Each structure stands twice: as C-alpha cells, then as structure tokens.
Structure 1
C-alpha cells in the first residue's frame, strides 16, 4: 500500500486543493496522512469536515518540515506501508499522477522516484531532476538537456526534492528516516536522497508523473521579492532561509567527497551571499 504524507502549517486552501486533486486521480489506491503542525487557520476543522478519509496527526508548531514528514512516515510504516510518498500541500497533482507512479514503481520497485514539476500558472515544465558534480561544482538540470520527445519515462538523477518523492519501505529499513537533527526544514530531502544513492538505491525522475507547483508561494521566493537587511539575514541564517549557511555546510560535509569540500564550500557561500543581492 502507498501512503502519502503531507506536512502542513496553515494555508488551508492550498491543502484543500492538493487533496481535491488527489481525489480526482484515475488511481485511488493510496492513503493520505496529513501532519498538521499547529495550524491556526481552521485547517483541522476543514480536514475533519471535508476529508474524513484523511488521517491527521498533530504537532505543536515546532516540528518544521523534516520532523513533520518523519512523524507521518513513522506512522505509515507502522500501518504497514510498502511505499511512502512525501508531498507538499502547495501543489496539485495531475489526474494520472498516481497511475503513472504505480506504472514505473512496478518497473523499479526498489528505486526512489521523483516527479516532473509543472508551473501551475503556465502549465510548462519547471523542474525535471538534477545531477550534481561535486568535482566541478556544477548542477546539471535534465529539463534543459532533454529534447521534448525524450521528456517521458524515467531518467536517472543524483538528488531529488521532497515534492512528490516516492520512497520504498526498504530504503527506510536500510538508512533510517530523514535527518531532522541536522536539517530541520530545508535540505533534508536532498541529503536523504544522496544518502540513499550511496547505499545502493537508484534515483529517478518520472516524467510521466506530473504535479503542478506554485513557485511564487515559496517563503524564499517571497523573501527575495522584498529585499532588506533583515530578510538577507533570514536568507542566510533563519531555519526557513533558502540560503541557510549552516544547512549548506552540514550538507557539504556529509555528502561531498572530502577532496572537493573546500572549493565546494567557498563557491557555495559566495553564491548564497551574492546571489541574494543579484537575483
């Protein structure tokens, strides 16, 4: 059985639309767990009244993304889940999303599989997987490399985000849950997939499984739109800062091959500091 884990904090309208998109799907062979980390906007009431089939777990407002996801994953595994999918609430899935997930799950039962992200506004592809080259300090974006006719099926990658991330039970049994101590909010998904890859699990993006995202709604995007010294500080040091230097340092020390660490860190610090000012 596939369990879908969705961490939420307020923004109940996004949560509602996300769940409705799942209900419109051509395959309903899944269960949903929502982890509500202290919402104050009526999310719990909305879920109880409109989605009684959804199981809801509650946090106290201090879990952040990673601990919320881990709470849901642990519960799913206790219920006997064969696969767990992490899904953010600020997205919607295409009608064939689950159906095409099962299609490729059968072909690669032990692989971790991500989704093709589409911009919800333009309906154009926005993200299709990445391959990291630590030696050259480069990230290849497959969506920019693949011609249109090849943007189907599975494509191997070296890291994946947690938006629509399908994870077999065997992965948790071998490497454990996401690292919520080092990465409480951002980077935990990338760290988890790098760890899985080192432990022999394949990573793919499924170009047949499409989900629709709202990039302008991300906290980091809004931070950049309203630049100030206070927001610059949040960008670099806040737990929800997209350029958090602590998280980047921990990720590098844990995942980058030792010979390339100094250059990778220096380059990454520069991009996070100066990139905020330039973008």
Structure 2
C-alpha cells in the first residue's frame, strides 16, 4: 500500500485543497499521513472532522521539513508501507496523479520518481528535473534540453525535490531516512535522492505524471521578494534560508567528489553571498 506523508505548519487552506485533490484520485490505493508540526490555525482539529480518513501525527513545533517527513515515514514503515511518497501541502494532484505514479513505479520498482511540476495558476511547466555538474556548478534543466515531443516518460536526473517524491520502501531500509541532523529543512531531499542514485537506485522525473504547484508560495520566494538586510541574514543563516551556508557545506561534503570539493565550496559560497541580490 502506498503511504503519502505530508508535513504541515499552518496554511490550512493549502492543506485542505491538497487533501481534496487526493480524494478525487481515480486510484484510491493509498493512505495519507499528515504531520502537523505545531500549527496554530486549528489544522489538526479541522482535519479530524473534515478528513477522518487521514492519520494526523502532531508535534509541538520545531521539526521543520526533514524531521517532520521522517516522523511520517517511520509511521508508514511500521504500517508496512510500500512505496512511500512525500508531498508538500501547497500542491494539487490531478485526478490521474496517483494512478500514473503507481503505474511507472511498477515498471521501475527500484526507482525514485518525481512528477513534472506545473504552475497551478498558469498550467505551464516550472520544474522538469535537472542534471547537475559538481565540477562546473552548472545546472542543466531538462525543460530547456528536451524537445516538446520528448517530454514524455522517464528521464534520469541528478536529484529530485520532495514534492511528490515516490520512494520504494527498500531505499529507506537501505539508506535510512532523510538527514534531519545535518539538513533540517532545505537540501535534505536533494541529498537523499543523490545518495540513493549513487547507491544504485535510479532517480527519474516522470513526464507522464503532473503535479500542480505554487512556486510563489515557497519560503525562498517570499524571502527574495522582500529583500532586506534581515532577509539576507535569514537567507544565509536561518534554518529555512534557501542559501544557508552551513547546510550547503554539509550537502557539499556529503555529495561532491573529493577532488572537486574545494572549488565547489568556493563557487557555492560566492553564489549564495551574491545571488540573493542578483536574482
């Protein structure tokens, strides 16, 4: 049975829309675990009455993304889940989302799979996977590489985000869970999928499966829209900072080839120190 783990902190409207979209799935062979990390907007109570089919795990706050999804994954593994999907609450799943994900999971039972992401407001593709070079620090977006007629089926990528990430239970039993100790919020998903790829588990973006997202609702997008000295400090040092220097250092040490590491670190620091104001 597929288990879907959704970490939430407030934003009840997003959570309700996400869960409503899961109710409309053509395939209902799944269960949902919501991890409510200290919401103050009545999320847990509203879900208990409005979505009784959803299991809600409550925490007092401070888990952030990684520890929250790990809490849900541990529960799912106890319930003998296979596979497990991590899903953000600011997503909407088209009716065939689960059916398509499970179809391709049966074809590639050892693979980690992620969907093609579409902007919920425009229905235009916003994320279709990336190929990353640790030598040059260059990212090649598949949406820029693939011709329109080739945007179908599975395409190998370097890593995947946690939005709609489907993971065979075997991967968790082999590698353990997301690295909540060193990567409490950002980069834990990229780290985990990179580790899985190097351990021999294929990592694909699935162009046959779409997920609607809200790019402007992310914490990074909000911080960049309100550029300030305080925002810059949060960007570089806050747990939820997209350019957090410590998190980047830990990710680099874990994932960059040793010969590339010094240059990769210097390049990455420069991008984070300057990029906040340039992009």
TM-score normalised by the shorter chain: which range applies? over 0.9
CA distance in 2, matches of 1:35, 1:111: 25
List alignment gaps of at least 5 residues for structure 2.
none
C-alpha offsets along residues 27-53 of structure 1, whole Å, 9 cap, x if unaligned? 111000000000010111110111000
Q: How does 1:133-152 map to 2 (within 5 A)?
A: 133-152=133-152
Which residue pairs with 1:14 in the alignment?
Answer: 14
Which residue pairs with 1:3 in the alignment?
Answer: 3
1:97 touches 1:209 (CA, 8 Å); kept in 2? yes
2:33 touches 2:57 (CA, 8 Å); kept in 1? yes
* DSSP-derived class of the 2:254 partner: helix
CA distance in 2, matches of 1:207, 1:48: 34
Comparing 64-73 and 137-146, the one that deviates more: 137-146
2:44 touches 2:58 (CA, 8 Å); kept in 1? no
Which residue pairs with 1:42 in the alignment?
Answer: 42
> CA shift at 1:5, angstroms?
0.1
TM superposition score normalised by structure 1: 0.99
Q: How does 1:21-60 map to 2 (within 5 A)?
A: 21-60=21-60
Which residue pairs with 2:64 in the alignment?
Answer: 64
> CA shift at 1:136, angstroms?
2.1
CA distance in 1, matches of 2:110, 2:220: 33
CA distance in 2, matches of 1:139, 1:262: 18
Which residue pairs with 2:102 in the alignment?
Answer: 102
2:187 touches 2:247 (CA, 8 Å); kept in 1? yes
1:34 touches 1:56 (CA, 8 Å); kept in 2? yes
CA distance in 1, matches of 2:157, 2:277: 30
C-alpha offsets along residues 101-122 of structure 1, whole Å, 9 cap, x if unaligned? 0110111001000111001111
List alignment gaps of at least 5 residues for structure 1.
none
Which residue pairs with 2:191 in the alignment?
Answer: 191
CA distance in 1, matches of 2:143, 2:96: 20
Q: How many residues align?
A: 279
CA distance in 1, matches of 2:230, 2:221: 15
Which residue pairs with 2:113 in the alignment?
Answer: 113
2:84 touches 2:168 (CA, 8 Å); kept in 1? yes
> CA shift at 1:73, angstroms?
0.2
Which residue pairs with 2:132 in the alignment?
Answer: 132
Q: How does 1:108-257 map to 2 (within 5 A)?
A: 108-257=108-257
1:97 touches 1:208 (CA, 8 Å); kept in 2? no
TM superposition score normalised by structure 2: 0.99
CA distance in 2, matches of 1:222, 1:82: 35
